[in-house]
Amino acid sequence: MNIVTWNVNSLKARAEYVEWYLDSASPDVLCLQELKLEDAFVPRALFESRGYHVETHGQKQWNGVLIASKEAITDVHCGLPGGDEGQSRLIAATTYGVRLINLYCPQGQAADSPKFKYKLGFYAALRAFVAEHHSPEDDLIVLGDLNVAPHPEDVYSVEAMENVPTYHPREHEEWQKLVSFGLHDAVRPHIEPGQFSFWDYRGGAFRFNRGFRIDHILATQTVQKRVTGAWIDRNARKKQGDLKASDHAPVGIVLD
């Protein structure tokens, strides 16, 4: 079974690209972020015509998260109490016997910005949410655009990112608190150091590989021991014919 997370940076703008990806990669579960669409305008037929069940938590123009699965989706929960300030950044559901928490975490903008304070508060609320509803013995995956590069090899330049959101010490503290619940990076053991999942559109970042690994799949031990492979699909960050790619690449794992 393949589970993929992908920030599509507007499902409306990327609908045909998502169609291409579903037809070429055919993941069993696809978790999307940054839909930038209200639920009523999500192109459900794009997924359903290919045999997927779909659940969404959308928002006009901003944010938005989606879970599509070839198996039934149950026990859907939307929103992060005390953490998302009404923004559509979390959807949780169960499929294939695994609980998924799909996230679009705030970016933080600048260390002295209110948006950075919001990001830290979001992570604190996320930890509380995970601890309240789950135990480390559960079959649980926390995934999505988590907007944190946790290790030096996850940024193109440690010097350039010193005290900058995405690679800020306070974010690393929050990250460690989150994973200390009993979550493991399901991707990192299966990829070479220095592989990234996000490259800015500007300044030739993709061409020169000035990127970040900020899209993650975290799993409890019961799930982690089932992971047989993982990848970052750099090819799906490239233009496909006339189809312009997202600034993020899909990130996936294989479970036995």
Instruction: Determine the pLDDT at residue 189.
Output: 98
Global pTM? 0.98
Mean pLDDT across 110-138: 98
Write out the two tokens for 243: 């189809």
Band of the pLDDT at 130, cuts 50, 70, 90?
Answer: very high
Q: What is the predicted pLDDT for the residue at 153?
A: 98
- End-to-end, the C-alpha distance of the chain in Å comes to 6
Over the range 166-189, which residues count as b (16 or more CB within 10 Å of their CB) and which as e?
A: bbbebbeebbeebbebbbbbbbbe
What is the enclosing helix (H) or strand (E) of 92?
A: strand 90-95
Query: In this predicted structure, what is the pLDDT of residue 103?
Result: 98
- Name the residue ranges covered by the structural domains of the chain: 2-255
**Phi and psi at residue 141, to the nearest 5°:** -125, 130
Any idea which architecture 2-255 has in CATH?
A: 4-Layer Sandwich (3.60)
pLDDT for position 81: 96
Strand partners, 239: none
Residues 59, 39: contact at Cβ < 8 Å? Answer: no
CA atoms of 89 and 128, how far apart (whole Å) = 16
Band (pLDDT 50/70/90 cuts) for residue 114 is: very high
The pLDDT value recorded for residue 121 is: 98
Average pLDDT of the chain to the nearest whole number: 98
Residue 58, CA atoms < 13 Å, CB-side half-sphere: 18
Q: Characterise 209 by phi-psi region: left (phi > 0), alpha (psi -120 to 50), beta (else).
A: left
- 7-46 per-position pLDDT tens digit: 999 999 999 999 999 999 999 999 999 999 999 999 999 9
Q: What percent of the chain has pLDDT over 90?
A: 100
96-105 per-position pLDDT tens digit: 999 999 999 9
Strand partners, 93: 100
Report pLDDT digits (tens) over 149-190. Answer: 999 999 999 999 999 999 999 999 999 999 999 999 999 999
CA distances from 48 to 43, 45, 60, 198, 236 (A): 9, 5, 22, 28, 22
The identity of residue 56, as a single letter, is T
* Residue 3, SS3 per DSSP: strand
Mean pLDDT value across residues 235-253? 98
**Section 41-54 average pLDDT:** 98
What torsion do the CA atoms of 202, 205, 211, 217 make, to the nearest 10 degrees? 70
For residue 98, what pLDDT is reported? Answer: 98
238 near 230, Cβ under 8 Å? no
b/e 191-217 (16+ beta carbons within 10 angstroms → b): beeebbbbbeeeeebbeeebbbbbbbb
Report the DSSP beta bridge partners of residue 211.
Answer: 199
Which pair of tokens denotes residue 155?
């940024």
